[in-house]
């Protein structure tokens, strides 16, 4: 199964695609979309096009996006929310259910603690996906989101199998 993680942003939107085969994890690709254009509408349209191209190229089976945390400034939170809307729309348009994870849940799943720093996240992503070289901190975060979603999907599958075996 291919899983895509997206770390939304209007200046830098990280993305990462991994492949799972049982407990085996493999890095497929990662990168950072840098939307261009004058004004919010143009930047959101650019982000939509960039993420759509990534999705078409790598054809994930599942996708996940990091939830927005409230920044000190309300204006930045609203702008990030708009980018997050595009990040959720693109996989949904492709027929994928989109998982959502709080930043602390992603950190806990990948690093083991909910308040890990960006350097710790990048280090653990590289440890779990040998040969992976994220092109930015945003791409490393996106790969961490993909890992978190893969772990969640594996756990849900095992739980469904256990419940089915008891029935």
Is there a catalytic annotation at residue 19? no
C-alpha of 162 from chain center: 28
Query: Between vectors from CA 133 to CA 105 and to CA 146, what angle results, nearest 5°?
Result: 30
Residue 25 phi/psi, 5° resolution? -120, 140
Q: For residues 146 and 140, is the Cβ–Cβ distance under 8 A? A: no
Out of 7, 38, 135, 141, the active site residue is 7
Which of 19, 36, 38, 66 does the annotation list as catalytic?
A: 66
Task: Judge whether 138 counts as a catalytic residue.
Answer: yes
From 61, 119, 138, 141, active-site residue: 138
> What DSSP state is assigned to residue 133?
-
Residue 138 annotated as part of some ligand binding site: yes
Cα end-to-end span (Å), the chain = 27
Q: Is residue 7 flagged as an active site residue?
A: yes
Q: For residue 21, say whether it is annotated as part of any ligand binding site.
A: no
Structure tokens belonging to residue 24: 């085996």
Q: Which residues contribute to the annotated binding site for Mg(2+)?
A: 7, 66, 138
Which residues are annotated as catalytic?
Answer: 7, 66, 138
Which residue ranges are tagged as binding site?
7, 66, 138
């Amino acid at each position: 199964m291919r899983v895509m993680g997206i770390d939304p942003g209007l200046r830098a939107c990280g993305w990462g695609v991994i492949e799972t085969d049982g407990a085996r994890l493999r890095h497929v690709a990662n990168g950072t979309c840098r939307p261009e254009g004058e004004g919010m509408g143009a930047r959101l349209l650019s982000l939509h096009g960039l993420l759509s191209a990534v999705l078409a190229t790598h054809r994930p089976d599942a996708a996940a996006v990091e939830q927005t945390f409230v920044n000190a400034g309300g204006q930045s939170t609203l702008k990030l929310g708009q980018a997050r809307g595009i990040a959720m729309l693109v996989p949904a348009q492709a027929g994928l259910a989109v998982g959502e994870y709080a930043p602390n849940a992603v950190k806990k799943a990948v690093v083991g603690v909910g308040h890990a720093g960006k350097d710790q996240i990048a280090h653990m992503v590289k440890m779990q996906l040998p040969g992976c070289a994220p092109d930015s901190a945003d791409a490393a975060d996106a790969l961490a989101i993909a890992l978190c979603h893969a772990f969640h999907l594996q756990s849900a599958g095992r739980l469904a199998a256990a419940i089915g075996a008891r029935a």
